[in-house]
Structure 1
Amino acid sequence: MKKPFKLVYVEWEDSFGCSAFWCNLENEAAPEDIKPQLARSVGWLCRESGSSITVVPHITDESKHAKLQGCGDMTIPRSAIRKMVVLRIPDDSKMNAAAKRMLAKKTKRTDYIK
């Protein structure tokens, strides 16, 4: 069985632009005060290389009927990454009763309480 993917939060500097048509670079190019946007992504770290990472927010379980699948993949150059944090998914079996009640109250869901 393949090792599970890490769940990560990534802050990265996004590029700006991509004109749909030819334009005069002296008059119509992006203004000088335009700055790249800080983007934030959360997903499963599916690929890593020396130059980039690939994060996928939606994945399925693998079964005898279907291989592991993902949707929404985003490949981010390492040079654009400003921060990356591995997120920890709480183990429901270790969550105490008080934590389950608090989570149920905050999310207005009762399925945490068993």
Structure 2
Amino acid sequence: MFKSMSSASNTDFASSVMKAETLMADFIAQNNLSLSVADQLPSLIQSMSPDSTVAKAIRCGKSKTTVVIDEMALCTQQSLFERMKSGPFTISADGSNDMGKTKLQ
């Protein structure tokens, strides 16, 4: 069965919007920002890219961003557990940003 061209482009567009929302959620999580930022970030992106149809379609507020981040964390956790099962592993802690007065050795 063949997909019509408009159906394929709708799927591509939906995937692009989903990717943009995921990247936005990842940015919030990576930078340890408050989830309340997600309520205003889509309108900022839309004002920065007024000609982008993908930017106009982003609908990712605080609630949806929370769910996206939770799903990304679950996928990362499962991937980490799979790698841990495959053999020995080490965990490294970087103390270079430690604000305490105790020197790490």
TM-score, normalising length: structure 2: 0.26
Name the one with the larger helix percent. Answer: 2
Structure 1 or 2, whichever has the larger Rg, is 1
Name the one with the larger strand percent. Answer: 1
TM-score, normalising length: structure 1: 0.24
